Amino acid sequence: MDLWQAVVLGVVEGLTEFLPVSSTGHLKIVESLMGIDVADDSVVGFTAVIQMGAIAAVLVYFARDIVRLATAWVRGLASRERRTDPDYRFAWWIVWATIPVVVVGLLAKPFIDGPLASLWVVAAALVAGSAFMWVADRVGSHERAESEITAVDAVVVGAAQVLALLFPGFSRSGATISTGLLRGLDRVAATRLSFFLSIPALTGAGIYELKDAVGGDVGAGPVVVGTVTSFVVAYATISWLLRYVARHSFDLFVFYRLGVAVLLVALLVAGAVAA
């Protein structure tokens, strides 16, 4: 992989990781257009590792919240009296909510890296995820703020990450935000919960795939360049998205996803990209 390709993929990752449009789907499409073998273990690893840049952006952007939650969690472990702190409970909810995606990710990895990696699956998942988001945005009551999130909310929303894991193109952020909306959360609360849930899930995936990315054909240079690029772009994207969802519906993303799905099917049918 050339450095310019790593920069392009880093930009794609940073833009799409937290927007509900599917970073995995976009990366597979762009990699295919650049002639990169999306099934190669080192490329799969590269894709997972540059997500660490996006996660670093979340850690920096939400540093104050994360320090507060981590402090409450450590204090709660040391003192039973501290366990009534809402931040202590919320930190544990994030841990519990991550378990389903970890279990499925380990058990279903041969399918995720094999038949489910097809661009036809990406196209279908883009459409299915768009329908899910459109319905959730209209059915959800949008009445509950972040302070009203419960353990059930966190676990159900966390479990929705499995949809994006199994079906690239569905979108992890799209699945979690939409599920949060169906649980009655407002758009900002659902989006912020999606950000917090992304930290353990994507960090674990990046660490797990690191050996293939650096030790394979991609090399350390492109991995570093792609990761740094994704960090810078993701930080700006997070700031924009939180301002956007405070005032707008998710229709923009729904129509965009459908447009990408149509374009992808056209490219597949024309033979411009390999499935």
CA distance 85 to 69: 10
Residue 188: Cβ within 10 Å count: 17
CA distance 182 to 178: 6
Closest CA to 142 of 174, 177, 182, 176: 182
pLDDT-derived band at 158, boundaries 50, 70, 90: very high
Contact 101, 198 (CB under 8 A): no
CA distance 117 to 111: 8
pLDDT (tens digit per residue) in 144-153: 999 899 999 9
pLDDT-derived band at 209, boundaries 50, 70, 90: low
Q: What is the pLDDT of residue 43?
A: 80
3-class SS of residue 78? helix
Contact 164, 172 (CB under 8 A): yes
Residues 235-257 have a mean pLDDT of 95
Residues 211-216 have a mean pLDDT of 61
Q: What is the pLDDT of residue 220?
A: 82
Q: What percent of the chain has pLDDT over 90?
A: 61
Q: What is the pLDDT of residue 223?
A: 87
* Residue 63 C-beta-side C-alpha neighbours within 13 Å: 5
CA distance 138 to 131: 11
Locate all alpha helices (DSSP H) within 17-116, ordered by sequence: 23-33, 41-61, 63-78, 86-107, 109-112
Contact 71, 88 (CB under 8 A): no
Q: Provide the token pair at 254.
A: 């729904």
Q: What is the pLDDT of residue 214?
A: 60
Distances (CA, A) of 149 to 218, 243, 255, 260, 266: 41, 20, 29, 33, 42
Q: What percent of the chain has pLDDT over 70?
A: 97
Query: Is a pLDDT exceeding 70 seen at residue 212?
Result: no
Q: What is the pLDDT of residue 31?
A: 87
* Residue 83 C-beta-side C-alpha neighbours within 13 Å: 7
Residue predicted with more confidence, 60 or 117: 60
Residues 213-232 have a mean pLDDT of 82
Query: Is a pLDDT exceeding 80 seen at residue 216?
Result: no
Q: What is the pLDDT of residue 253?
A: 95
Residues 35-58 have a mean pLDDT of 83
Angle at which helices 63-78 and 86-107 cross, to 10°? 100
3-class SS of residue 124? helix
Query: Is a pLDDT exceeding 90 seen at residue 258?
Result: yes
Query: Is a pLDDT exceeding 70 seen at residue 213?
Result: no
